[in-house]
Copies of this chain bind each other. A is one copy, B any other.
Amino acid sequence: MRVGIIGGGQLARMMALAGYPLGLDFDLLEPTADACGAAVVRHLAGDYDDADKLAELARDSDVVTYEFENVPVAGLTSISGQVPIFPPIDALSTAQDRLKEKRLFSALEIPTPVFIPVDSRSELEAAVKHCGLPAVVKTRRFGYDGKGQYVIRTEADIAEAWQGLEGQALIVEQFVAFQRELSIIAVRSTNGEEAFYPLSENTHREGILRVSVPRPQHPMTKLATDYARRLVEDLDYVGVLALELFEKDGELVANEFAPRVHNSGHWTIEGAQTSQFENHLRAILGLPLGSTELNDHAAMVNFIGDAPELPTLLEIPGVHAHIYGKAPRPGRKVGHATIRMPTEKGRNSSLTSLCELAGETPP
């Protein structure tokens, strides 16, 4: 079977590496010639909305999927009669719009921060007043890794935010002074089979995920799983979905969901019985899902900007390297490493070493 992937970054790369052992073949639709996915997958060079290339991808594939949420919906719609596309386009289009996304959370009784759509400076001022300070103003569309958003801590910040974002549809949200950032990876198959990974505790810095640690004993696992289940069932979802949550004062508040494999699930490659990448493929192909149980004790650290040298990195006990083959650049995700150790103590010790090497703080 042949899977067409739109997008050619590290998520496509890891998806293909998880799929080759299943005997699957892949094509990537990706404009960038040196995209890191293209180093290991047959590459169809073209823009994500190139109608001819999309038609070619649809013709050659048994199923089409995507690795990032800013894929143009119009392009996908143009081939939706020709080939199954998963995750469903409706889920993608909801995730692309923070307002639609938050409204869906509300409709499903999944708590969110207070949110207000704004289209003018006066609406922005009113919304900030209503939400209280601090507040966050974000573009409704095309934000990622902290881009396209401002935290408004005093009324004086409003001017700068407006200057940076003016002209785009915006949303103002209450700032959540969370104790912890969590995510849950859900997977649902074409035949409705569902599975949920243990919660990840995530640490961000400068808007970019740095460290994820699975927390299988987290007391709110059942609640988070319930929220994720509501989402995937309402969306008639197929594939992997990541739901990002804030933990605050014993409650969970939904931040956003990603209709794709997710950085906070990278630890599943070694740390779960079946990786999120393999389960995404199994789900979209209607194959039985693999176990989402833990495999020993795991943790993941991202390499941002550049990656440590392999000889140093591989000295850390239980480390598994994932170097994406991308040129170093400030703020760029160029790789990650997973720790997997038989004991929690061993995991924590290696995680400390790995964080030190990567310039991060262990959670």
Say how far A350's CB is from chain B's closest CB, in angstroms: 11
Q: Which residues of B contact A220 (CB under 8 A)?
A: none
What is the copy number of this chain in the assembly? 2
Contact partner of A322 (CB less than 8 A), chosen from B21, B311, B324, is: B21
Determine the residue in chain B with the shortest Cβ distance to A13.
B20
Say how far A67's CB is from chain B's closest CB, in angstroms: 16
* Contact of B273 with A288 in the complex, beta carbons under 8 Å: no
- The answer for the CA separation of A342 and B322 in the assembled complex, in Å, is 25
**Would A321 and B282 be within 8 Å (CB), given that A40-B40, A295-B295, A296-B295 are in contact?**
no
A22 at interface, CB cutoff 8 A: yes
Q: Which residues of B contact A344 (CB under 8 A)?
A: none
A250 at interface, CB cutoff 8 A: no
A141 at interface, CB cutoff 8 A: no
* Contact of A310 with B322 in the complex, beta carbons under 8 Å: no
Say how far A183's CB is from chain B's closest CB, in angstroms: 22
- The answer for the CA separation of A342 and B296 in the assembled complex, in Å, is 9
Q: Please, what's the 1-or-0 string for A282-323, where 1 marks a CB less than 8 Å from any CB in chain B?
A: 100011101101011000000000010011001101101111
Q: Which residues of B contact A311 (CB under 8 A)?
A: 286-288
Q: Which residues of B contact A314 (CB under 8 A)?
A: 282, 287-288, 290
Say how far A210's CB is from chain B's closest CB, in angstroms: 20
Q: Which residues of B contact A291 (CB under 8 A)?
A: 317-318
A39 at interface, CB cutoff 8 A: yes
Say how far A337's CB is from chain B's closest CB, in angstroms: 10
A214 at interface, CB cutoff 8 A: no
A98 at interface, CB cutoff 8 A: no
Say how far A18's CB is from chain B's closest CB, in angstroms: 10
Contact partner of A340 (CB less than 8 A), chosen from B23, B273, B307, is: B273
A25 at interface, CB cutoff 8 A: yes
Determine the residue in chain B with the shortest Cβ distance to A278.
B320
- The answer for the CA separation of A323 and B293 in the assembled complex, in Å, is 24
Q: Please, what's the 1-or-0 string for A28-55, where 1 marks a CB less than 8 Å from any CB in chain B?
A: 0000000000011000000000000000
How many chain A residues sit at the interface, stated as a range, is 35 or more
- The answer for the CA separation of A21 and B20 in the assembled complex, in Å, is 14
Contact partner of A23 (CB less than 8 A), chosen from B17, B290, B335, B342, is: B335
A325 at interface, CB cutoff 8 A: yes
Say how far A62's CB is from chain B's closest CB, in angstroms: 12
Say how far A204's CB is from chain B's closest CB, in angstroms: 24
- The answer for the CA separation of A315 and B291 in the assembled complex, in Å, is 10
Q: Please, what's the 1-or-0 string for A332-361, where 1 marks a CB less than 8 Å from any CB in chain B?
A: 000100001010000000000000000000
Contact partner of A287 (CB less than 8 A), chosen from B21, B40, B310, is: B310
- The answer for the CA separation of A322 and B24 in the assembled complex, in Å, is 10
Say how far A329's CB is from chain B's closest CB, in angstroms: 16
* Contact of A21 with B273 in the complex, beta carbons under 8 Å: no
Say how far A12's CB is from chain B's closest CB, in angstroms: 12
Q: Which residues of B contact A321 (CB under 8 A)?
A: 21-23
- The answer for the CA separation of A23 and B340 in the assembled complex, in Å, is 19
* Contact of B23 with A20 in the complex, beta carbons under 8 Å: no
Q: Please, what's the 1-or-0 string for A151-173, where 1 marks a CB less than 8 Å from any CB in chain B?
A: 00000000000000000000000
Pairs across A and B, CB under 8 Å, 10 listed: A13-B20, A17-B17, A20-B39, A23-B321, A23-B335, A287-B311, A287-B314, A288-B311, A290-B314, A295-B295
